């Protein structure tokens, strides 16, 4: 979750992301790949750097889904 919060501030290169963690670059790379597979982040290569940013459209969809789910849950609990 911290990685997503980090990207909330704007796009960062892989190297900039690694500076915030005390794990190997390979471990960070694996986590970034998982987040990309889940479409929570996207990447863009610029020269020899890869920049990562939040995929806000997917996050907005998830938030709407959670809001709808909570609404259904609250409604069912009041019956």
Q: What residues does each domain of the chain span?
A: 2-77
pLDDT band at 66 (very low <50, low <70, confident <90, very high): confident
CATH number at 2-77? 1.10.10.10
Q: So what's the pLDDT on residue 79?
A: 47
Mean pLDDT for the chain overall: 87
Pairing verdict, β 12-13 and 49-54: antiparallel
| Bigger pLDDT: 5 vs 62 | 5
Q: So what's the pLDDT on residue 15?
A: 92
Q: In whole angstroms, what is the distance from residue 25 CA to residue 22 CA?
A: 9
């Amino acid at each position: 979750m911290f990685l997503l919060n980090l990207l909330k501030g704007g796009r960062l290169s892989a190297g900039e992301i690694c500076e915030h963690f005390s794990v190997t670059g390979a471990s960070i790379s694996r986590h970034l790949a998982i987040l990309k597979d889940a479409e929570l982040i996207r990447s863009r290569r610029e020269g020899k750097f890869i920049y990562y940013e939040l995929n806000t459209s997917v996050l907005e969809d998830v938030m709407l889904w959670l809001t709808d789910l909570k609404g259904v849950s609250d409604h069912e609990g009041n019956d």
